[in-house]
Amino acid sequence: MLNTGDFAFDTVAGANVQILERIEMWGYTSYKVFNPATGRVYKATEEQLNTSGNAIQYDENYLRYVTLLRRWLSVYTGKRNHPATTSALCTEPCDGDEQHSLHTC
């Protein structure tokens, strides 16, 4: 059961949404939801909303491994933008002249 103000994952739209209103009628429950990414307000059925979040789960240990690999490569190769790790960590394309840190990638 979701309450007003809760966040849920809409499996049909593939986005996290916020519950604005709960509508119960004739034994069915539906919700008026707000998608903050698009600004759209729409109705969703109870079956299409998932409280456990997105099905994609990130492994914390893998993220630590990639971070340590990048640090190791930057120390032992002398290159901060090693091609093996920048594509895994940076959200923007890196060229060889830019210096990125772990906080900005």
pLDDT tens readout for residues 71-96: 888 777 766 655 554 444 454 555 55
Residue 102 lies in a domain: no
Provide DSSP, 38-55: TTEEEEEETTTEETT--S
Provide the residue range defining the domain that includes 75. 60-89
How do residues 6-33 score in pLDDT, each as one tens digit?
889 988 888 889 999 999 999 999 999 9
Residue 104 lies in a domain: no
Q: What is the arithmetic mean of pLDDT over 49-60?
A: 68
Higher-scoring residue by pLDDT: 74, 44: 44
Instruction: Answer whether 3's CB lies under 8 Å from 18's CB.
Output: no
Residue 98 lies in a domain: no
Q: How many domains would you assign to the chain?
A: 2
Give the integer Cα–Cα distance in Å for 74 and 29: 54
Residue 97 lies in a domain: no
Q: What is the arithmetic mean of pLDDT over 34-52?
A: 89
User: Are 11 and 40 in a shared domain?
Assistant: yes
User: Are 12 and 45 in a shared domain?
Assistant: yes
Helix, strand or coil, per DSSP, at residue 99: coil
User: Are 70 and 38 in a shared domain?
Assistant: no
